[in-house]
Amino acid sequence: MNTKLSAEIDASRVQSMDGMDIPWLIDQWVQRTPDKAAVVWEPFSGDRVVLSYAELQARARSVAAGLHERGVKAGDFVLVHLDNSLEFLIAWYGCAELGAVAVSTNTHSVARDLSYFADHVSAVCAITQPTYAQLMFDSCPNLRFVAVTDNDAGEPPAAPLDQLSFDAVPFADLLSDGQPPTLPTEPMRNLSVQFTSGTTSRPKAVLWTHANGLWAGKASAIHMRLRNDDTTLAFMPLFHTNAQGYSMLATHWSGGTLVVQPKFSASRFWDVSIANSATWLSTIPFAFKALAGQPVPEHHYRMWGTAAHLPSVGQHFGVQVMGWWGM
């Protein structure tokens, strides 16, 4: 490629996100619509929880401060090994506020995987839940600490934290009253890592900058023509790029509302969708095949995104289906 042209492309790439990063994204909506629901947590048991944009920002900054007080600094890698939960969102955005890099790992990983992930990125600590806490500690001996939530994706833990073989940091203790360090807005700062599935070799660590995260949200929101009065239901795993890019970041780019379930539930799908007036959805064939045998109620959905353009699915459920082949 022509050297001058290459330099111009690089310059335009940087300029397109100048003055923006993930904390900037949330702050835009805190300034405009602080009391609007940013996240709705719909657990299978326990109480429904709504966080406004202002509350999401406050909790993320609180976790950022708590991590900083335990020696985590900008540029450090933090394993976020959580099923869909409020804690996942708060931890992920908290890392972004601190300038740390959230390494969102597949919760089906075995010990060998976790050891590899932690060693590959030189992770300094981990945030996880009771089900995975002992495995995390045993697999990753070089971590400074392991923070553990008091629930498993909304369900009570099978055993209390004091029965673990190590001194876990309760996730609630990361919620500090202090303030994280103030960082300049830097779109090219490292944001997150997701590991590939490792189909042909060891999993690859895919590093996103803040600009990559913003672009994922912006491009998705534009393609789907999202508005700030839109609401999506997310049951796909948040540790994966699908839910992070399509559902979480696209929603928060557009100033909409993200409704999160622990995982897909055919029996709860329509009740949760209707109660929250969900207007769009990222889904997969397994989910709409599981729903196919149920009556389709009146709903607010106008669009479902999935792996391919499937007119018959759209006709059955009364929605427009957008094909996302190749993502």
Q: Which of 59, 52, 53, 120 is nearest to 87 (CA)?
A: 59
How does strand 37-41 pair with strand 49-52? antiparallel
pTM reported for the whole predicted model: 0.94
How far apart, in Å, are the Cα atoms of 196 and each of 117, 210, 267? 11, 19, 31
Quick count: other Cβ atoms within 10 Å of Cβ 57? 20
CA gap 2, 10 in Å, rounded: 12
CA gap 89, 78 in Å, rounded: 14
pLDDT in tens, the chain (327 residues): 578 777 766 666 667 788 999 999 999 999 999 999 999 999 999 899 999 999 999 999 999 999 999 999 999 999 999 999 999 999 999 999 999 999 999 999 999 999 999 999 999 999 999 999 999 999 999 999 999 999 999 999 988 888 899 999 999 999 999 999 999 999 999 999 999 987 778 899 999 999 999 999 999 999 999 999 999 999 999 999 999 999 999 999 999 999 999 999 999 999 999 999 999 999 999 999 999 999 999 999 999 999 888 999 999 999 999 998 665
Strand order in the sheet with 257-260: 49-52, 37-41, 257-260, 231-234, 280-282, 303-306, 320-323
User: CA angle 196-202-203, nearest 5°?
Assistant: 15
